[in-house]
Structure 1
Amino acid sequence: MTTLADPRLELITTARHFYQQGWMVGTAGNLSTRLSDGSFWITASGRSKGELLPSDFVRIYPNGGIEQSSADLKPSAETAIHQILYRLFPTAQTCYHVHSIEANLVSRFVSSDSLPLPPLEMLKGFGLYEENPNCIIPLFANHLQVSSIASEIKERFTLHPPKIPALLIRDHGVTVWASSPTTARNYIELVEYIFRYMVAARSIGSE
């Protein structure tokens, strides 16, 4: 049963918007939102993000319990990443992960484990009110076993918290987390704008 207050409804709207932008084509990407009891709803694996229904979500409880609409419904393969981000950042209520062409391209601009971002005005959307801010986005290898990615995120962020609430997985996509669904949606749009700028700037520079 759903109500007007059901957080899945906002996730459905956001997923459709991201799908229309080309950031969640097919079944790619995953969205989650945390509830007051510490559990969170996350998109189920293998569901088209442009056609989600409330039944296309799985609820993950802190004790490892799972609530799903049918026995064959499985949580997103990247649930472990959402879990670790919620543990590391207690104020986070929403976590969004999308796949875009630009995110994959910029992840190949460097061989290191961080990607410098240009000092664009858009960074103010992340709270960086600095002149010519020096900002990087952490970059992680895309391991076949998602648990390995989650472990690396935990290890690095425990020692070195990121400057902005975003991370990039090479050849995969970007993940953001925020205190509300609206803020998380803004973060995705901002970082994707920055990635598009970076791709366009490199294209112009190579002419």
Structure 2
Amino acid sequence: MSPGAVLAAAARELYQRGWLPGTSGNISVRLSADTALITASGRDKGALTESDTVLVSVDTSAAVRPEAPRPSAETTIHTAIYRATKAEAVVHTHSPYATAVATRAGNRAELSTVDFRDFELLKGLGLRDPSATSIPVFPNHADVPRIAAEVERYLIEHPDAPPVLLIEHHGLTTWGADYAQARNRMECVESICQLSLLLKGRAFS
């Protein structure tokens, strides 16, 4: 299956799970040191096809081919992660429980964090110490490249950070060595957030 077909099938599956409502969210895979394939902007994720993906430059976040569809609005966040980490795939969703946690824990003015501990599902994130982790929650600026710059700076300054970030009022982003790993990490974090909310916040701070 081609990378574009993989992204299209992935988007449809995540849409069915309620993680990519409407045209929200985006998925990318790195194709080379210089390029990544990402879902196009404004496309219905429940009906995405291979033609709804676009090749972008990891350096500039711009479409490689001028006739290509417009890249996702969050392309700059994906490429920031590719530049700052060894990620080969990035998934950004509006999954409800993680978005709720991000909104509760987030701060419109500055970076905050949410701490999770003792959940068995933390082992799914590939952490050095799977007993606990601190996930950054970035302010939801209207200027997405500003978010991307803050993400890249944070990841460079925190090389041992978990492969997860939240954006206040916006959603969840995970990454990994391939799409399957990034997606599995997404599922782990969404489940942890659901459990935390069921516990009325007692499992995170």
Coordinate RMSD, CA, aligned:
2.2
Q: Which residue of 2 aligns with 1:108?
A: 103
Separation of aligned partners in 2, 1:129 and 1:203 = 24
C-alpha distance 123-63 of structure 1, shift in aligned 2 (>3 A): closer
**Does the CA contact (< 8 Å) of 1:32 and 1:95 recur in 2?**
yes
TM-score (norm 1): 0.87
1:32 aligns with 2:31: no
**Does the CA contact (< 8 Å) of 2:4 and 2:51 recur in 1?**
no
Give runs of ≥4 in structure 1 deviating > 6 Å: none
Query: Structure 2, unaligned stretches of length 5 or more?
Result: none
How do 1:30-109 residues align onto structure 2 when only pairs under 5 Å count? Answer: 30-62=26-58, 64=60, 66-67=63-64, 70=67, 73-89=69-85, 91-109=86-104
Range moving further from structure 2, 142-151 or 122-131: 122-131
Percent identity for Structure 1 against Structure 2: 38
SS at match of 1:66: coil
How do 1:1-207 residues align onto structure 2 when only pairs under 5 Å count? Answer: 4=1, 6-62=2-58, 64=60, 66-67=63-64, 70=67, 73-89=69-85, 91-110=86-105, 111=107, 113-128=112-127, 130=129, 133-202=131-200
Which one-letter code corresponds to 1:83 in the other structure?
T
TM-score (norm 2): 0.88
The superposition leaves residues 95-123 of structure 1 with CA deviations (integer Å, 9 ceiling, x where unpaired) of 00000221221123335610011320001
Separation of aligned partners in 1, 2:83 and 2:59 = 13
**Does the CA contact (< 8 Å) of 2:4 and 2:37 recur in 1?**
yes
- In the comparison of the two structures, how many residue pairs are matched? 198
Give the C-alpha shift of residue 157 in structure 1.
1.9
Separation of aligned partners in 2, 1:150 and 1:63 = 12
Separation of aligned partners in 2, 1:162 and 1:143 = 25
